[in-house]
Every structure is written in structure tokens, then in C-alpha cells.
Amino acid sequence: MKKTLFCTVTLIFALAPGSKSFASTDFLGEARSAYTPNQKESSIEVTENGTIRKCLISGKVEQAKLSTDNSVVIISGNTYIPTSKLKNCGANPIAPRKTPSKSGFLVDINLSRKIYIALFPVTTQPMMFLATVSSLGSSKSIVTLPGAYVPGSSIEQQRQSAFAYSEEGGPQARISRSGRYVSVNGVIECSENSYPGIWDIRRNKKVVISDDPSYLKCMSLFE
């Protein structure tokens, strides 16, 4: 019988002051940052079938956020841990994996398709962003549509292409399970007027579905 991690209650992370908390019905545990004289130690406590197991983490846990495919827990702006590592952790600390910091802050990963989304702040009042959609291990965006970060573009071009995004209570950026479609601002809408809209990263093209008033066809891209 395949061993799985399943929970039906809320996950609450107790982190350092100023850190973000995350709630989910897909993962259960508690993350803490603790300090020793010579190093900083973090841990995530995972509850599996009623048993609590502490997983040591190398480095700092600044947040704890599941990717939309539940394959990783994002623990900082550019570090993450595969959930498989947390399900099977031992006595040795888990070394987080990284995305390039110059890509922006990490918002979603599809580990099986090796794709991630990172957002790069363009303006602060209001907060507006451009997106990098890239392969793991690279900082080069595979999308050049309006709303994507394109190296060499002028500040004015970047401001005109930027979009609003908030991780606090708003829709979350997501990658489809197939790895073909992305919503960099979390809004699942395939209308002509949607911005930045849904991107087909294989074709480097915005997805437009005209006969979809309830967005059901658009949502099906992410099922």
C-alpha cells in the first residue's frame, strides 16, 4: 500500500517575527526558526497518521507555502523543499533547493514539469510586478508576452506591462498540472480583455476562449 501524507485540518506555522503564515488543508505541520550561538536552525513538524515527526531544515524558514500541485513547500523568496523530502526526513537536515534570486520572488513550482513562476517588483506605490516563467535551474523566461519580465526593456516599458498581485488573501499564481499553462496573477480568465491573462507557454501566446462566459473551459486547463 502506497504511503501518503494526508491531513484535513489547518496548518499553522509559528515563525520568526515579521514572517508569513500559511494555512492549507493539504499539509499539516508546524515550522519554527530557532537560533544557536553558531548557527540558525529551522524545523518543520509534520503530522502523518497522527504521528508527529520533526524535519530539520538547513537555513531559515521565512514562510511556508504549498505549491499549487502540492509538490513543494516554498520557504523563502527563492528556496523550497519537495514535500517528498518532508514525508521521508531523517536525522540529517534537509538542504533547501533554490531558484535564481535575480528572477524575483518564487510564487509557484510544478516540480514534475520543472517549471517555476517568480515575480519581479517594478513599482511600489502601488505594488506592481512582472513575471518570470522559467525552467528550474535557469533564470531566463520562456515567455515574452506583456506582463513578462524581458531583460533589456526600459523602465517605462516595464511599468506599462506590470500587473497587481497580492499573496495576502488574493488569488495565487499557478502552473497547470500539464505544465503548459500559467496564470501569473492567479486569475483564471481567458477573455480577450483579461490581463495579463492565461499564458500558453509552449506557444508563447495568451489563451483566449470567446465562448466561455463562466470560465469553465478556461478553468479546465488547470485541472
User: What gap in Å lies between CA 104 and CA 106, rounded to an integer?
Assistant: 6
Which amino acid is present at 192?
A: E
Taking only the tens of pLDDT, the chain with its 223 residues reads 433 332 222 233 333 334 333 334 344 455 555 544 455 678 887 776 777 778 889 988 888 888 999 899 999 999 999 998 988 888 899 999 999 999 999 999 999 999 999 999 999 888 999 999 999 999 999 999 999 999 889 999 999 999 999 888 789 999 999 999 999 999 999 999 999 999 999 999 999 998 888 889 999 999 8
Strands 40-48 and 72-74: unpaired
Task: Say if residue 213 is preceded by a cis peptide, omega within 30 of 0.
Answer: no
Q: Which residues of 58-78 are buried (b: 16+ CB within 10 A; e: fewer)?
A: ebbbbbbbbbbbebbbbbbbb
Can you read off the three cell numbers belonging to residue 18? 515579521
Please name the residue that has the C-alpha cell 496564470.
Answer: 183
pTM for this entry: 0.82
DSSP per residue, 123-170: EETTEEEEEEEEETT--S-S--STTB--TT--HHHHHHH-B---SSSS
Locate all alpha helices (DSSP H) within the chain, ordered by sequence: 83-87, 155-161, 216-220
